[in-house]
Chains A and B, each alone.
Chain A
C-alpha cells in the first residue's frame, strides 16, 4: 500500500501552485471597461431613438428592449458567455446580462420540453428579481403612505 508522503501544508502548496491566479484588480478594471461600454452603447441607442422623435420615456423603454434583444441573441449564439468569462460583472450587471440570465436556463432546459423546460426556466431569474423588487417597491410605497 502506497504511503501518502505529503503533509497537509505541502498539499495546499501544490494545490495553490496549480490554482488559476485571478487578479481582483484586473477583474475590477475589466468589469469597469466592459460594463461602462455597454452603458455607453445604451446611451447611444437611447439618443438615436430621441433623434428619431421618440419622447424620452419611449426612448428609454425602447433602449431596454433593444438591449434585451442584443443580450438574448448573443446568448443564443454562445458569444455572451465567452464575453462573461473575461468581463465578469461587467456583463452580468447591465440589462444584457439579465437577458443572458433569463435565456441561458431556458435554452439549457429545452430538452425537458417547452412547457416544463423552457416555460418554467424562463422565470428562474426573473422570479427572484421580480419578487424581491416588488416586495421592496411595496415597502417603499407603504412608507410613503404612512408619511403622507
Chain B
C-alpha cells in the first residue's frame, strides 16, 4: 500500500521540481523534457535509478526521466554482453516499446482527430 503513497510523493516532487525549473528560467517545456531524460541517463549510470524504482515505483517510471533509464540500461546490458558494438545495439533495446508506441499511437491520433480551435 505504501508504494501508492510513495509513487504520488516522489512523482509529484519530480513534476514540481520541473515546475520550479520552468518558473525560474526562460527555458521551454521541450528543454525540460530533454534535461530530465539526460538526468535519468546519469542517475542510471550512477546506479541510483533502479534503487529509486524499488522505492517509488511509478513515481519514477512515469516521469519522462524513465526514458533516460531504459536507454541507458539497454546500452549497459549490451555493452556487458558484446562490448563496443553494444554502444549502438543497446540504446533502443528496452526503449523500443516506448518509442514505437509513442510514434505509432501519436500518428494515428493525429490522423483521427482534428486540431481544436
The proximity string for B residues 81-117 relative to A, scoring 1 for CB distances below 8 Å and 0 otherwise, is 0011011001100000111011101110111111110
Q: Is A136 a contact of B41 with CB atoms below 8 Å?
A: yes
Chain B contacts for A42, CB-based, 8 A:
7, 11, 58, 61-62
Q: Is A31 a contact of B11 with CB atoms below 8 Å?
A: no
Q: Is A102 a contact of B38 with CB atoms below 8 Å?
A: no
Nearest CB of chain B from residue A46's CB, rounded to whole Å: 6
Main SS of chain B's interface residues?
helix
Cα separation A66 to B16 with both chains bound (whole Å) = 23
A132 at the B interface (CB under 8 A)? yes
Given A63-B61, A94-B64, A134-B91, check contact A122 B107 (CB 8 Å).
Answer: yes
Given A89-B15, A107-B113, check contact A72 B105 (CB 8 Å).
Answer: yes
Q: B8-44: which have CB < 8 Å to A?
A: 8-16, 18-24, 29-30, 32-34, 36-38, 40-42, 44
Partner of A133, one of B9, B41, B45, B90: B41
Cα separation A73 to B108 with both chains bound (whole Å) = 10
Q: Is B102 a contact of A35 with CB atoms below 8 Å?
A: no
The proximity string for A residues 17-30 relative to B, scoring 1 for CB distances below 8 Å and 0 otherwise, is 00000101001111
Q: Is A140 a contact of B64 with CB atoms below 8 Å?
A: no
Given A46-B58, A88-B22, check contact A77 B103 (CB 8 Å).
Answer: no
User: Could you list 17 A-B pairs, sorted by A, with CB under 8 Å?
Assistant: A24-B23, A35-B15, A36-B11, A36-B12, A39-B58, A43-B57, A64-B66, A69-B105, A92-B18, A92-B32, A93-B63, A98-B64, A114-B111, A122-B107, A126-B102, A129-B34, A142-B87
- Given A68-B98, A102-B102, A118-B107, 19 more A-B residue pairs with CB atoms under 8 Å apart are A35-B12, A36-B8, A42-B11, A46-B58, A64-B101, A68-B105, A92-B32, A93-B33, A94-B11, A95-B64, A97-B33, A99-B105, A126-B99, A132-B37, A134-B71, A136-B42, A137-B68, A137-B90, A145-B79
